[in-house]
Structure 1
Amino acid sequence: MICSILLLIILTSCVSGTFVVNVTQTSYQAEENHDITLEWTFTTNPHSSSNSLNIFCELITDLRSSVLFHLHKGVEVPESQDEQFAGRVQWDKDVLREGRLRLHVSRLRTEDSGLYVCKVFTSYGSNSGRCWLNVTATSPQQPESRGRIGLYCGLGLTAAALLAGCFCIFRHFLSRNQDF
């Protein structure tokens, strides 16, 4: 009897499948003021409508939790988005049916660094996926090519001045020695 129940449980889980949420990358690195695309994939069910799809994505840091994206019954809920991300997050509606959530975050800030958790709830299951984003500050630098050109010009002029000075000293020395 127990074997029959266990077999039934195993067969049921194999037939119904397991709902899975994955990230395409577990860790991202970006610079301040650049853009990035975060992507999660999840199990789809062709017999389910997008009206049963709920997605909640947030940034979790040591200090607080911020809502990045919220989709309720297939409709985006922008008013639940944290002010930190207002106007900077876009999503691809076209790939959602394929079981992909692609979020484009623009004009990154160092405070966007942290753990991103995306929870997906459907009529056939729920799960979550997480990834890390590290945003580094950009350091003010002069363009590399202009800096190198200036350095090479300076070195060239210094070398030319030294050679001209040596030539003048040599000429002066030769002219004094011819008088003897």
Structure 2
Amino acid sequence: MLAFAAPARADLRVCNETGNMVSVALGYRAERGWMSEGWWQTPAGECRVLYQGDLERRFYYIYAVDDIGGGAWDGQVFMCTRDETFTIFGVEDCLARGYERTGFFEIDTQSRSDWTLQLTETADAPAVVGPDAGEDLEDPAFTIDPDDVTIEAPDDGATPPDGAPVPPPPADNAPPASN
């Protein structure tokens, strides 16, 4: 009798360790250029696969919002989003094309083929955390310095003024940080 091992699953996953429903958007460089897509509704205590299969890029970009309590996991890499389910190609001229301009934060997968991101909340605000010291490198999780993530309540849809400072572009294959 022959037994076959199931192939290891390699995906980009987000786990919601908060007490509320969280909506997640993903951005990355696809074959056609920069792309953003969303929304993955992630109930409290559950995980969602955002990108299925081996991760082909080192950098991915995430924006997540707490649907009940407010607050967001965001950053300084701007991509296009909208309130409904979306797949948007390009990161330029979001407002002119009828989309919102949203700040995503960068995930450096360190060129691994599988990655898990855990969204948690502290007593004051949401935070992004990684595994404890016993991390299994076969199933890595994302760790981020909380000083590198801007955490604030979502605004009423307003975007930064055109004169807002633009941060330096992220490393490697990151999209431009402009509208």
Q: Given the two structures, how large is their TM-score scaled by the length of structure 1?
A: 0.24
Q: Which has the higher helix share?
A: 1
When normalised by structure 2's length, the TM-score is 0.24
Richer in strand (by share): 2
